[in-house]
Amino acid sequence: MLVATHGWWPWLLTLAIILIALAAVIAYFRRRRAA
């Protein structure tokens, strides 16, 4: 159980980082297009 939890949480962290980076890129392009 502990090994399984330790195995899947870094994947969840990586997914969160990708989503944050994607949101930042979208916000940057929206700001550029608006200006």
Q: First vs last Cα of the chain: how many Å apart?
A: 51
Its pTM surpasses 0.75: no
Return the pLDDT at 22.
98
Mean pLDDT of 7-13: 84
Mean pLDDT of 11-29: 96
Residue 19 reports pLDDT greater than 90: yes
Q: What 8-state DSSP symbol labels residue 6?
A: H
Number of domains into which the chain is organized: 1
Measured between alpha carbons, how far is residue 16 from residues 12, 13, 20, 22 in Å? 6, 5, 6, 10
Residue 10 reports pLDDT greater than 70: yes
Return the pLDDT at 9.
81
Residue 3 reports pLDDT greater than 70: no
Range of the domain at 2: 1-35
